[in-house]
Each structure stands twice: as C-alpha cells, then as structure tokens.
Amino acid sequence: MEYVNPEGLRLDGRRFNEMRQIVAEVGVVSKADGSAVFEMGNTKVIAAVYGPREIQNKSLQKKDDHALVLCEYSMAQFSTGDRRRQKFDRRSTELSLVIRQTMEACILTELLPHSQIDIFLQVLQADGGTRSACINAATLALADAGIPMRDLAVSCSAGYLNSTPLLDLNYVEDSAGGADVTVGILPKLDKVTLLQMDAKLPMETFKTVFALASEGCKAIAERIREVLQENTKQLEYRRAA
Amino acid sequence: MGLPDSSQDLSTEMEVDAFRRIFPLRFFERHLSESLRPDARPLGKARDTIVNPGLVSTADGSALAKIGSTTMLAAIRMEVMTPSTDSPDEGCIALEFHMPPICSPTVRPGRPADAAPVISKRLSDTILSSGMVDLKELCLVSGKAAWMGYLDIYCLNADGALFDAALLSAVAAFSNLEIPVVALNDNGRIVAISGGKDEDNASIIEKKAVNKEKRKLTLKNIPFSLTCILHKNYILADPTTEEESIMDTLVTVVLDASDQMVSLYKSGGTVLAYSSAVKSCVELARKRAKELKQILGEMDID
C-alpha cells in the first residue's frame, strides 16, 4: 500500500514533516487540581492531576523524602475502531508505567516529601500517537496544578514508511508495519526522557527518524508554552479584577 | 441543631471560606433562610445545561452533556449479533456507566467509585423501561441478525446530579445515533459497507442491502430527570457535590415528554418526606423537563 504518494503527500494530505493539528486547553476538569485536554489530529486525551495530597497507600511509598507519583492510563470503550476494549489490558498497564516514569523524571519530587501526585489519563479517541498525546496532556495538567517541574516533558512520534521518515503517525500509518519511534524530551535541558521503538531500522535511518521526532517535540513544546502563558495571562486578569 | 452558639461568635471573626469548611451545614442554612444557595441560584433552579452532539467520531452516536460543572460523555457503538430465541425480532442495548479517576478526587484508581454501579443500574432500568428505543427497530434479519448497541457513559467531572447529566447525555447520544449501513454477503453474514469502493459494494447493495442508508432511530417517550435534595422544609433542585455531601436525602424524579412518570427514586436519608414534598419535587421535575426538551430540540436542529 502506498503511504506516501509520488508527490510526497501522505494519506491525509500531510507532507513527511508535518504534524497533525494540535488543540490544547487547560483547566477543563473543575474538580481536579490540574487538568488539560490535548488533541493531536483525531487523537483526543484528557489528563487530570490530583495532588500533592496525602499518600493513600503507604506500602507503595519507596522513597521517604520524595513525592510518590502514580499514573493511570485508560482508554474509553468507544475510543478505537471496531472492537470494544478490555478495561485494563497489558498495553494500558505498560503505558501507565512508561508515562509515570517519564513524568517522574521531570517533577521535582524532592520538594514535596510525604505526598502523592496522581496523574490520570483518559483517551477519548485514539488515532495513533496516544502515548505522546498523553505525555503532553500530563505536562499541561501538572503545570495547571502548580506542581514544580524541571522542564516541560513533551513527546512526539515518527516512523519510516516507503523509504521516507514520517512525523506524527496516525493509526493507519502506525499499523502499516514500519518502524514507530516515540521520543520524549525535556526541550530546555535538551535531554531525552523517553525513547521507544519497535521494528527494525538501520542505524543511519534511525538517527534521521529520531531527529525528525525531536523537531516535532520542540514544535509541541512551543505550543504548550504558548497555551500556558495565555492561561497565566487570563489568571492575571481575573486576579486584578 | 444542638451546637452551642459559639459558632455564632466565631463566624464574625472567621473568614467565609473557613466557615464554609468547618460549619458547612450552618453556612448553607444561612443561605437557605434567604431562599438562595451559595452559587446565587434560587432553590428550585437547575444549573446551566449544555448538550453537544457528535463529538466522538469513532462512535456511531455520541454526545457531551454538561450540567454546571458536571460533565458526561456518552457514546454508542453498534455491533451485529444474533438475537435471542425468545425475542428474535429485537435488538439489544448494553449500558455501562464509568467514573474514571479523573472525575473526582474521591475516586481511587483500581477501585470503582461507590456511586458508579448504582447509577449504571438505574440508568439501564430507566432507559429500558421508558420505552424510548423500540428494540424492534434494531432488528436486521429476523432470528439471524440484530443490532447490539453498546452505550458507554464516562463521567469527566463529577459535581453533583450525576444521574441527571448521565441520562441527558444518553438521550442526546441516542438522538445523534446513525445506524451504519450493512449488507448480507454471500456467506450469509452481515458486513459493514464503508464509504469508498463503490464498485465492490454496488453489487452487494443491489442484491441484499439490509438497510439502504444511515438512518436514525425514532425516539418516543424521551425521559428527563431531576434530582432534588430534601433538607428540613427546603427542597433544593440540582445539587452540587458540596450540597450532596452535607445533606444526604436525595429524590430523583424521571418524567417523559408527555408528563408521565417513568421513575421515582428516594433511597433513605435522614429526612422523611411527606407526600407534599414529593409532589413539589415532581412539579420541579416537570418544569425541568420542559427546559431539557427545549435544549434537546435546539441540539437536533444544529
């Protein structure tokens, strides 16, 4: 099947280095301490952060003078194609762990000892790149909750199909069987927190795909920064009023 | 009331927020005596309600309903199944209500919320008993194939009146539902026909299309509900979480569009209601049903 036509257009009309449309909004769940909606094309994710609050299950606490970060990823039953999903399958558990570790690396947990930070992610629509959308949404929600972080954790995926590196794969491109590289970086510190890949790639190609994904991450970081600044401006207006 | 009036003295010194947290009942009663609630609503008025259809593109029908801050997202997926031998001409609806941990600080991961299965069952009973959906419309081939509608309702923000918002989103999702086009292929199985590839499908459509175009369900007797809190002589319509946590007697009335009562629910609580209180609740529910009918009507036109 042709994923990139001879003119360089993909199935949805994008070029190889174009991302899908991003819609991001902060403060959507009034009951949560911090919340955000993040959409990348048709992938829609809601993140809610509760914390810092009292630790509910002391047996989970490993480090005494650091905050405990918990993360739960779940997909709505109607979020994907034809089949209904099992509520807590292995993929959800794996993703919960991956996202937790990514966010934990970027939260300043030593500033909030003896407390728990809960990050809940709910995928409402899945069209590829849910992992990345979740990390981006979690970053926004943590910022909305006022939890101190080292940097914004942003994530983007890239793949390699029809001998072309492609940025931000959707579901059809992802299931094509080519490589899928998901990268999570801390843009200001220029460090990689998450790197996952499946399928085989020669080293040189991998470097190109990785570089493309990192570029995507930087673009998302810009957007997230804009959203947060706009949000702060709104809060300032309300406070002044 | 029994509390000494020391709170009276404290109240002049304390900040409003602190008073609200430490003496919540007194805080609310001060407002109720002026026939108001802390968010400035009169006692019988419900919060602003918004309904948005068609948000989830992967589902066959969906809607988002917001009553104040309480947000519910309902989506329906249709799948083909074999009908049971008792009712070969009828399809089926499976309803599930989820309260994911994002909706409220009291919901812990790994442990379903206490309210969730209760609301799930009540919703299921209300929708099936109201007769809103004629299950015979969900039949494809008598005895062999019928539609099974999986309705999933997710609470995205829990701020009181969960049942009302969930019912509203379910009803809106049903009115947004478009049944996909299918055909019977040569093996006698039902296959979905997607938009593209007309040449392949044209032959199937000519021969054995079971339904020619995406159609909507005809909904009759649409149920509308209103939850009220009873506290002493006061009846508060459409409570928030804060109000529900302090005053525990809830009455839910479900009426349909022709003013018939579909369901009445009062499960215990410290206040024992006289029949006059129940009648007042029904009156409030009637007014609310008119409002909701108008909101749904506007939604359909869009």
- Segments of chain B assigned E as strands: 49-53, 61-67, 70-81, 92-98, 139-141, 145-157, 178-179, 182-184, 190-192, 215-216, 223-231, 234-237, 250-256, 261-266
Query: Rounded to whole angstroms, how far apart are CA atoms B67 and B50?
Result: 7
**Is the minimum CB–CB distance between B173 and chain A shorter than 8 Å?**
no
The stretch A115-123 carries a mean pLDDT of 94
Q: Is the pLDDT of residue A154 over 70?
A: yes
Q: Is the pLDDT of residue B222 over 70?
A: yes
**Is the minimum CB–CB distance between B158 and chain A shorter than 8 Å?**
yes
Q: How many CA atoms lie within 13 A of B37 on its CB side?
A: 20
Q: B273-281 contacts: CB < 8 A, separation 24 or more?
A: B273/B230, B273/B249, B277/B230, B277/B235, B277/B251, B278/B251, B280/B235, B281/B226, B281/B228, B281/B230, B281/B235, B281/B251, B281/B253
Query: Rounded to whole angstroms, how far apart are CA atoms B144 and B72?
Result: 35
Domains and CATH numbers, chain B: 43-179+215-297 (3.30.230.70), 180-214 (no CATH)
Classify residue A100 by burial, with Cβ atoms within 10 Å: 0-12, 13-18, 19+. middle
Q: Is the pLDDT of residue B10 over 70?
A: no
Contact B151, B91 (CB under 8 A): no
pLDDT bracket for residue B274 (50, 70, 90): confident
Residues of A in contact with B71 (CB under 8 A): 29
Q: Are B104 and A31 a contacting pair at CB < 8 A?
A: yes
Q: Looking at the predicted complex, does its ipTM rise above 0.90? A: no
Measure Cα distances from A111 to A35, A55, A65, A147, B165 in Å: 21, 15, 8, 10, 39
Q: Are A29 and B156 a contacting pair at CB < 8 A?
A: yes
Q: Are B73 and A124 a contacting pair at CB < 8 A?
A: yes
Q: What is the mean pLDDT of chain A?
A: 91
Q: Are B159 and A80 a contacting pair at CB < 8 A?
A: no
Contact A206, A195 (CB under 8 A): no
Which residue among A31, A74, A125 sits closest to B56, beta carbon to beta carbon? A125
Q: Is the pLDDT of residue B199 over 50?
A: no
Q: What is the mean pLDDT of chain B?
A: 84
pLDDT at position A61 is: 80
pLDDT digits (tens, 9 = 90+) for B164-178: 999 999 999 999 998
Q: Are B75 and A76 a contacting pair at CB < 8 A?
A: yes
Helix A203-240 to helix A130-144 angle (10° resolution) is 30
pLDDT at position A82 is: 63
Q: Amino acid letter at A89?
A: D
pLDDT at position A240 is: 82
Q: Is the pLDDT of residue B205 over 90?
A: no
Q: Are A77 and B77 a contacting pair at CB < 8 A?
A: yes
**Is the minimum CB–CB distance between B191 and chain A shorter than 8 Å?**
no
Contact A121, A45 (CB under 8 A): yes
Q: Is the pLDDT of residue A156 over 90?
A: yes
Torsion of CA B151, B157, B158, B160, to 10 degrees: -100
pLDDT digits (tens, 9 = 90+) for A21-79: 999 999 999 999 999 999 999 999 999 999 899 988 888 887 788 999 999 999 988 88
Q: Is the pLDDT of residue A203 over 60?
A: yes
> β-pairing, B250-256 with B223-231?
antiparallel
Residue with tokens 């630790």: A55
Q: What is the DSSP string of A104-118?
A: HHHB-GGGSTT-EEE
Q: Are A46 and B156 a contacting pair at CB < 8 A?
A: yes
pLDDT at position A63 is: 79
pLDDT bracket for residue B11 (50, 70, 90): low
pLDDT at position A42 is: 92
Interface size between A and B, measured as CB pairs under 8 A: 86
Nearest CA in chain A to B69: A30
pLDDT digits (tens, 9 = 90+) for B62-121: 999 999 999 999 999 988 888 888 888 888 999 999 999 999 998 888 788 888 999 999
pLDDT at position A15 is: 92
Which residue among B58, B103, B109 sits closest to A125, beta carbon to beta carbon? B58
Q: Give strand pairing partners of A43.
A: A40
Compute and round to an integer the Cα radius of gyration of chain A: 18
* % of chain B surpassing 90 pLDDT: 40
Which residue among B56, B69, B100 sits closest to A74, beta carbon to beta carbon? B100
Query: Rounded to whole angstroms, how far apart are CA atoms B160 and B71?
Result: 10
Residues of A in contact with B117 (CB under 8 A): none
Residues of B in contact with A31 (CB under 8 A): 69, 103-105, 157-159, 241
Q: Which of B48, B55, B56, B58 is the best residue to mutate to test the A interface, defined by the most A CB atoms within 10 Å of its own CB?
A: B58
pLDDT at position B194 is: 54
* CA of B57 vs chain A CAs: smallest distance (Å): 8
pLDDT at position A213 is: 95
Q: Are B159 and A30 a contacting pair at CB < 8 A?
A: yes
Q: Is it true that the peptide bond before B53 is cis, omega within 30 degrees of 0?
A: no
